[in-house]
Amino acid sequence: MVYRGRVQGVGFRYTTARLAEAFAVDGYVMNLADGSVRMEAEGDKAELERFHEAILGSPPGAGVRETDLHWGDVHGRFDGFRIRYQTLE
């Protein structure tokens, strides 16, 4: 998933990581060089849908204006949910 809008500098990654604990999802979230935020998450599809809806409503200073969602198979590559701090070029 890629989130665009006011999503950097507003605690978006930290809020996403905190929300991931409340939902049974594993994966990561990271800032991208173009100002968007990328998240890759695995889990039950219904749980992922609820997680995505929760993300859209927070944090208060964020403003998601566009999302690119791509559904795929679960590969079990992740153990927990992490914030990645390097950006992709």
DSSP-assigned letter for residue 11:
S
Taking CA 81 as the corner, what is the angle to CA 14 and CA 20, rounded to the nearest 5 degrees?
65
Annotated catalytic, 13? yes
Choosing from 4, 6, 13, 38, which is the catalytic residue? 13
The answer to whether the CB of 33 falls within 8 A of the CB of 87 is: yes
Choosing from 31, 50, 65, 82, which is the catalytic residue? 31
Active site residues: 13, 31
